[in-house]
Structure 1
Amino acid sequence: MTEAAFRKMSEQDYLRLLECSDVRYEFIDGFVYAQAGATNAHNQLALNLALLLQPEARKHGCRTYQNDMRLRLESKNGQLTHYYPDLMVSCEPATQVAGTLHLSAPCLIVEILSRSTGRADKNEKWKDYQTLESLEVYLMVDSLSRNAALYRRTANGWDYEIVEDRFTLPRPAMELGLAEIYDGVPL
Structure 2
Amino acid sequence: MPGAAVHHPQPRSGLTYADYLKIDDGQRYELIEGELVLVPSPNFRHQHLAAAVEALLREHVKKHNLGLVLDAPFDVVPEENVVLQPDVLYLSRERYHLLTGDCLKGAPDLVVEVLSPSTGRRDRLEKSRLYLRFGVKEYWVVDPAAQTVEVFSNSQSGWLLAGSYGPEDTIVSPLLPGLNVPGEEIFSLPEGLEL
Give the TM-score band, short-chain normalised: 0.7 to 0.9
| Structure 1: runs of 5 or more not aligned | none
Aligned counterparts of 2:131 and 2:42: Cα–Cα separation in 1: 22
- Of 48, 57, 65, which residue of structure 1 is paired with 2:52? 48
Residue 116 to residue 157, structure 1, CA distance change in 2 (3 Å)? closer
Q: Answer 1 or 2: which has greater strand percent.
A: 1
1:82 aligned to 2:87? no
Kindly state the Cα deviation for residue 56 of structure 1 after the two structures are TM-superposed: 1.5
- CA 1:109–1:10 in 2, change beyond 3 Å: closer, same or farther? closer
Say which structure, 1 or 2, has more relative contact order (CA 8 Å, 6+ apart). Answer: 1
**Does the CA-based 8 Å contact 2:78-2:106 persist in structure 1?**
yes
Code of the residue aligned with 1:84 in structure 2: it is Q
- Structure 1 length-normalised TM: 0.83
Q: What do residues 77-123 of structure 1 show as CA deviations (whole Å, max 9, x unaligned)? A: xx731111110001122533xx7323523111100011111111111
Aligned residues: 178
Partner of 2:104: 102
- The corresponding residue for 1:143 is 144
Amino acid at match of 1:72: V
Contact 2:132 2:158 in 1 (8 A): no
Query: Do structure 1's residue 31 and structure 2's residue 35 form an aligned pair?
Result: yes
- SS state of the match for residue 22, structure 2? helix
The answer on 1:118 being equivalent to 2:120 is yes
Decide whether the 8 Å contact of 1:88 with 1:109 is kept in 2. Answer: yes
Distance in 1 (alpha carbons) for counterparts of 2:159 and 2:72: 24
Q: 1:122 to 1:109 in 2, by over 3 A?
A: same
Instruction: Give the Cα separation in 2 of the matches to 1:126 and 1:136.
Output: 12
- Asked whether the equivalents of residues 16 and 82 of structure 2 are also in contact (C-alpha less than 8 Å), the reply is no
Give the gaps of 5 or more residues in structure 2: none
Structure 2 distance, partners of 1:158, 1:5, is: 29
1:154-173 → structure 2 map (5 Å cutoff) = 154=155, 157-160=158-161, 161-164=163-166, 165-173=169-177
TM-score by length of 2: 0.80
